[in-house]
Structures are given as C-alpha cells and as structure tokens.
Amino acid sequence: MSQKNTMGIALLVIGLIIGLGIGIFIPTGAPVDTSLQTIQDRGTLIVGTSADYPPFESLNSTNDVVGFDADLMEYIAEYMGVTLVWQNMEFDSLVGACTAGTIDVIAAAMFITEARAAVLSHSLPYLQTQMSVVVMNDTVLTISSLTDLDGYTVGVQTGSVEDESITNVTGVTVTRFATIDLMYVALDAGTVDAIFLDSPVADVYESSYNVKTILQLAAELTVLYVGLNANSLLIEINAAISAGLQDGTIDGLIQEWL
C-alpha cells in the first residue's frame, strides 16, 4: 500500500478518536480489574507477537523484534513507564496466550474480528491496510473477486483474517501455513496457485520472489488486543495510541515502515 493511502487512513482514525473519544472500544459494565497495576508493579509489559511478518514484526540479526508494531509498542511502553518483554510464538497461538493471561498484549498486525472480540478486548485502531492475492509472475490467472478463485488452491496463514475470508469462498481449496515464508515457498514450488495475505507484507516479499498481486481488498482496522476484562490496561493503551496519532509518532512509523 502506498504511504499516501496509509497516511490518509491514519488521519481518518485520528478524526474518529477526536470525534468519539479514546474510550470508544472500552467495554462498559465490566468488573474493576488490576491489570494496569500489576504491570506497573512488575515494571514490564509482556507483549505477544509472531515475528515472521515484516514490515510489522520480524527478528533482526540479534533476534530482537523490529518493525512497525515493535516501534509502536516501544512508544506505548515508554508512555506507560514500563519495559517491554516480547514473547514470540506462532500467530495462531496468540489469542489463546492472551486469554490465558501469559501475555498482556497482542501486537501482531491483527485486524478487528467478531471472533477475537468475543474473547478479547481490542484497542483503538491505529492503521488500516489492504489484503492481497499474490501469484507467480508467469501466471495468467486474473480475478476481480475472491469468488473467482473457485477451483484453485490458495495459501493463507493459519488463524488470519485471510484464512477466515477465503474459507467461506465456495470451491476454494485452502492450504494453511504457520508462517508467511512457508507460504511463499509453496507458491514458488507450485503447490498452491495463489496466496492471500496483508498487502504491506506482500510488498516486502515481492523483491525476493518473482510474483505479482492480482487483487487487493480493503482490510479491517488494525488494533492491539488485551484480556477481555483488562479495562484499566486498555484505557492506558488507548491513551497512548491517541497521543501517538495526534503527536505524529504513528504517522512517522507509517512513513518509515510502510
């Protein structure tokens, strides 16, 4: 996705925050919790991610988590006055880890979905991207919607929104992968006809594989997730996101990473 389009969406999100207030996604009527106090007392914020998803999160040569979400979480941790501790795991394990309380926050370029919102609480949105259907460059396949993939085999990351979306399309054979790099290996080997993933991630891999994008679709808003009743933590995270959108920090991250 171009910086212009992504930055424009960030401005829309800022307007949403200013118009409706930073608490728009905070559940009401939930019991008082100690989630924020617990984090402040121990001095660390435990963040779960799946660091195979550049430019949002990946591991550098020293196994540090880097990327858009990594920098965003550094900003949020500094705002909260605590230190980040990363827990790297497969994407499909993140929701379970957060519901179990082994991590405080999920930062993994996650979209808002009804299924996730049923078991977790999401933050204010901080970004909206697109989703891409990618094929090998010599493929003659052209499509105008996901339904045109009837009869084809499509690779997705397990537990992703793309997984959920393509699974509902009649006639598509879905092959699930734990990581994005395995999806591209399969596409290159011809074991899948196409793959379906976030557009910024597809842009990163485009330089490594002879591929092209044949369809882009608008994605849901991107958010962080916390435990379902971690209201005090959610309020603090929302305040940090609101500050980051309004002081230009998130806009700067978009320009740097996307």
Cα–Cα distance list, 229 to 1, 88, 139 (Å): 34, 23, 48
pLDDT of 112 strictly over 70: yes
Half-sphere exposure of residue 136: CA atoms within 13 angstroms, side-chain side = 11
Comparing CA positions, the residue from 43, 108, 33 lying closest to residue 73 is 108
pLDDT band at 115 (very low <50, low <70, confident <90, very high): very high
Mean pLDDT of all residues in 73-97:
97
Enumerate residues 6+ apart whose C-beta is below 8 A from 123.
25, 223, 224, 225, 226, 234, 237, 238, 241
Q: Are residues 20 and 113 in the same domain?
A: yes
Bond preceding residue 125 cis, omega within 30 of 0:
no
* Interatomic CA distance for residues 245 and 34, integer angstroms: 27
Domain count, the chain: 2
Q: Are residues 7 and 86 in the same domain?
A: yes
Q: Are residues 38 and 87 in the same domain?
A: yes
* Interatomic CA distance for residues 231 and 245, integer angstroms: 21
How much of the chain is helix, strand and coil, in % rounded to 5?
A: 40, 30, 30
Which two structure tokens, joined as six digits, stand for 20? Answer: 């409706």
Fill in the DSSP letter of residue 112.
P
Q: Are residues 232 and 197 in the same domain?
A: no
Q: Which helix (H) or strand (E) holds 58?
A: strand 57-59
pTM to 2 decimals? 0.85
Q: What percent of the chain has pLDDT over 70?
A: 88
Give the residues across from 153 on adjacent strands: 173
pLDDT of 21 strictly over 90: no
Mean pLDDT of all residues in 114-143:
96
CA-based end-to-end distance of the chain: 7
Query: What pLDDT sits at residue 13?
Result: 55
Q: Are residues 124 and 56 in the same domain?
A: yes
Q: Are residues 215 and 117 in the same domain?
A: no
Q: Are residues 17 and 116 in the same domain?
A: yes
Q: Are residues 20 and 79 in the same domain?
A: yes
Q: Are residues 86 and 108 in the same domain?
A: yes
Q: Are residues 184 and 248 in the same domain?
A: no
Q: Are residues 48 and 157 in the same domain?
A: no
Mean confidence (pLDDT) of the chain: 91
pLDDT band at 200 (very low <50, low <70, confident <90, very high): very high
Half-sphere exposure of residue 21: CA atoms within 13 angstroms, side-chain side = 5
pLDDT band at 7 (very low <50, low <70, confident <90, very high): very low
Give tens-digit pLDDT for 140-174: 999 999 999 999 999 999 999 999 999 999 999 99
Q: Are residues 159 and 192 in the same domain?
A: yes
pLDDT band at 15 (very low <50, low <70, confident <90, very high): low
Give tens-digit pLDDT for 29-79: 546 789 999 999 999 999 999 999 999 999 999 999 999 999 999 999 999
Angle between helices 249-257 and 68-80 (to 10 degrees): 160
Enumerate residues 6+ apart whose C-beta is below 8 A from 6.
127, 128, 129, 254, 258
Which two structure tokens, joined as six digits, stand for 123? Answer: 């933050």
Structural domain containing residue 35: 3-128+220-257
**CB-based burial of residue 169 (10 Å sphere; 0-12 exposed, 13-18 middle, 19+ buried)?**
middle
We report the CATH number of the domain holding residue 214 as: 3.40.190.10
